[in-house]
């Protein structure tokens, strides 16, 4: 029995030693696995944080594309690169691609996020303030409209898109038709403050002029331009639009006169006013051909004016998203003469303060134009080149 007991004790001791060794080995493996999981999770958290930091910069700083290099975060560091359509032509003009990488102790994770910066061209109509200028019977608006004030309505205008305003309800009398619904008392949406980024795009790969400029779009994909100092012609030419980035601009508070038929994509930015001297059309009418890729943005630091030219005395048609950043979109001599027919805008109107396009006695036009504002639905997914954006973004895709 003594020998058997000794053998049994020795056997148990060996088994216990093996179990202890395996336990220690498993504990080490578990700790190593736990460390790996921690580093992997932290690298992913750094990456996601870098994406969110970048999104905040994009929303608050128009034109921001600097990214980050070795930004310290969570005991590791992160890197971000930003690419737009000027670098990657597969991107839409209002899209950005964010590539973020988080690193910690040799562990790294990468996320590629494509975002859409919501452009003001999404609106059929937008104003910061609404003076007592009324939508009246006969006015027809399609597409989303918004004001940071309160709309004035008389009679029975028809609104086919969503109508939103910061003010509660609307001012006036009548029975407007809000076919697309209403959101009165909604949040304020601020207009951009500085458009120097777009001027920079014109200087780098577009056309930037320093005098009063006349632009006529030609249906063959080119545009004629003339630049004046007073009555003196300084320079002129014909340029293939596709050979540029699509941005045509002035500096030194100079105006731009625009007319013609556009074939391509363009944004015209005047450091002063934009004057529309005749119809502005597309080579392919999107109301007839929904595959049309012609698209135009008209932006003035001050006013966008429908000129009182002979051509504009009988109707005026404008295909564009129009922005009067600090002033208004209005008709020259709107309160003189008789009715001029219909002002048709296919696109949108964005302005600081609503401007007049005519006068009326109750529902009858006495001078200027009646309005037919129609939203170009393509603007919901596509903007003119480098068009100003709202302080909000939409995430299109996120891959890790």
Torsion region of 389: left, alpha or beta (phi above 0 gives left; psi -120 to 50 gives alpha)? beta
Q: What is the mean pLDDT of the chain?
A: 89
Q: Are 117 and 384 in contact (CB under 8 A)?
A: no
Same domain, 88 and 229: no
Q: Please tell me the distance from the alpha carbon of residue 207 to that of residue 203, in angstroms, as a whole number.
A: 6
Is 164 part of any domain? no
Same domain, 248 and 107: no
CA distances to 159, 183, 304 from 178, rounded to whole Å, are 5, 11, 28
Q: Nearest Cα to 324, choosing from 395, 226, 256?
A: 256
The count of domains in the chain is 2
The string of DSSP letters for 284-323 reads S-TTT-TT---EEEEEESS-EEE---GGGGS-EEEEEEEE
More confident: 329 or 36: 329
Mean pLDDT across 165-183:
94
Is 400 part of any domain? no
List pLDDT tens digits, range 110-120. Answer: 999 999 888 89
Same domain, 344 and 234: yes
Compute how many other C-beta atoms are within 10 angstroms of the C-beta atom of residue 105: 12
Among 118, 142, 161, residue at a domain's last position? 118
CA distances to 205, 225, 227, 236 from 214, rounded to whole Å, are 19, 5, 7, 9
Band the pLDDT of 30: cuts 50, 70, 90.
very low
Among 118, 142, 167, residue at a domain's last position? 118
Is 97 part of any domain? yes
Q: Nearest Cα to 195, choosing from 323, 318, 89, 315?
A: 323
Q: Please tell me the distance from the alpha carbon of residue 114 to that of residue 104, in angstroms, as a whole number.
A: 25
Same domain, 95 and 211: no
pTM: 0.79
Domain of residue 285, residue span:
191-391
Q: What is the pLDDT of residue 31?
A: 55
Same domain, 110 and 206: no
Is 186 part of any domain? no
Is 144 part of any domain? no
Is 176 part of any domain? no
Same domain, 205 and 319: yes
List pLDDT tens digits, range 245-255. Answer: 999 999 999 99
More confident: 331 or 74: 331
List pLDDT tens digits, range 43-99. Answer: 999 999 999 999 988 877 766 788 999 999 989 999 999 998 878 888 877 789 999
Compute how many other C-beta atoms are within 10 angstroms of the C-beta atom of residue 117: 22
Q: Please tell me the distance from the alpha carbon of residue 267 to that of residue 15, in angstroms, as a whole number.
A: 82
Is 238 part of any domain? yes
Among 76, 103, 118, residue at a domain's last position? 118
Is 351 part of any domain? yes
Same domain, 108 and 210: no
List pLDDT tens digits, range 213-229. Answer: 999 999 999 999 999 99
């Amino acid at each position: 029995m003594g020998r058997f007991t000794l053998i049994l004790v020795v056997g148990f001791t060996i088994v216990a030693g093996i179990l202890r060794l395996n336990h220690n080995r498993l504990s080490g493996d578990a700790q190593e696995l736990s460390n790996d999981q921690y580093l992997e999770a932290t690298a992913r958290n750094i990456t996601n944080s870098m994406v969110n930091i970048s999104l905040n910069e994009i929303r608050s700083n128009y034109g921001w594309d600097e990214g980050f290099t070795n930004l310290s975060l969570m005991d590791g560091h992160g890197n971000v690169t930003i690419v737009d359509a000027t670098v990657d032509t597969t991107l839409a003009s209002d899209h950005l691609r964010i590539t973020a990488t988080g690193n910690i102790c040799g562990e790294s994770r990468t996320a590629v996020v494509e975002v859409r910066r919501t452009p003001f061209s999404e609106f059929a109509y937008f104003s910061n303030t609404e003076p007592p200028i009324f939508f009246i019977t006969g006015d027809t608006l399609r597409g989303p409209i918004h004001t940071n004030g309160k709309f004035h309505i008389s009679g029975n205008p028809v609104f086919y898109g969503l109508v939103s305003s910061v003010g509660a309800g609307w001012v006036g009398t009548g029975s407007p038709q809000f076919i697309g619904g209403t959101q009165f008392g909604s949040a304020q949406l601020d207009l951009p403050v500085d458009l120097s980024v777009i001027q920079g795009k014109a200087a780098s790969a577009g056309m930037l002029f320093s005098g009063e400029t006349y632009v006529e779009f030609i249906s063959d994909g080119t545009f004629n331009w003339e630049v004046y100092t007073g009555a003196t012609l300084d320079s002129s030419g014909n340029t293939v639009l596709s050979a540029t980035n699509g941005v045509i601009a002035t500096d030194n508070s100079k105006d731009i006169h625009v007319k013609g038929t556009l074939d391509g994509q363009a944004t015209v930015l005047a450091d002063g006013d934009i004057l529309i001297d005749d119809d502005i059309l597309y080579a392919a009418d999107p109301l007839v051909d929904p595959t049309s890729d012609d698209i135009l943005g008209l932006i003035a630091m001050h006013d966008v004016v429908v000129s009182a030219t002979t051509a504009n005395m009988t109707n005026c048609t404008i295909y564009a998203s129009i922005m009067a950043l600090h002033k208004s979109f209005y008709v020259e001599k709107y309160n003189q003469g008789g009715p001029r027919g219909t002002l048709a805008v296919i696109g949108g109107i964005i302005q600081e303060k609503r401007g007049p396009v005519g006068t009326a006695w109750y529902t009858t036009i006495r001078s200027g134009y009646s309005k037919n504002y129609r939203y170009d639905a393509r603007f919901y997914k596509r903007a003119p080149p480098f068009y100003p954006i709202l302080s909000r973004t939409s995430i299109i895709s996120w891959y890790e």
